[in-house]
Amino acid sequence: MTEEELEQFRIRLERMRSDIEQTGDASRQSASTVELDQSSVGRLSRMDAMQAQQVARELVARREEQSRRIDGALRRISRGDYGCCFVCGEEIDPNRLRADPTLTRCIGCASA
């Protein structure tokens, strides 16, 4: 992989991380304690609020996982081993990395 390609991936990954950080605060607030709508207190409104809270928690967890994957990819770029499969050491197809720059396995190892 060329230095120019690595730089393009680095820029994309940093943008992805920035997007996650910007939307993360609102998600964390949504995942906090359930507050009931006092005008429609009842079993269904309580269940709706709890379901919304669970969805928000799942979204926060997904964003945190994606953030870890992005940080890992940026570390691999810095170390010089970005784009190499963790399992077999072969180069990951650049088209796969363009689709998801956080990938750590080649198609052969990912499908095994």
**Would 64 be classed as within a structural domain?**
yes
pLDDT exceeds 90 at position 45: no
How many domains is the chain built from? Answer: 1
Please give the average per-residue pLDDT across 14-20, as a whole number. Answer: 95
Spatial neighbors of 87 by CB under 8 A, at least 6 apart, are: 105, 106, 109
Instruction: Report which residue type is found at 18.
Output: S
Please give the average per-residue pLDDT across 38-53, as a whole number. Answer: 72
**Would 104 be classed as within a structural domain?**
no
pLDDT band at 49 (very low <50, low <70, confident <90, very high): confident
Report the alpha-carbon distance of residue 66 to residue 44 in Å, rounded. Answer: 33
**Would 93 be classed as within a structural domain?**
no
pLDDT (tens digit per residue) in 68-101: 999 999 999 999 999 999 999 999 999 999 999 9
How confident is the model at residue 40, as a pLDDT? 54
**Would 91 be classed as within a structural domain?**
no
Distances in Å between the Cα of 55 and the Cα atoms of 3, 6, 28, 31, 106 are 40, 35, 11, 8, 32
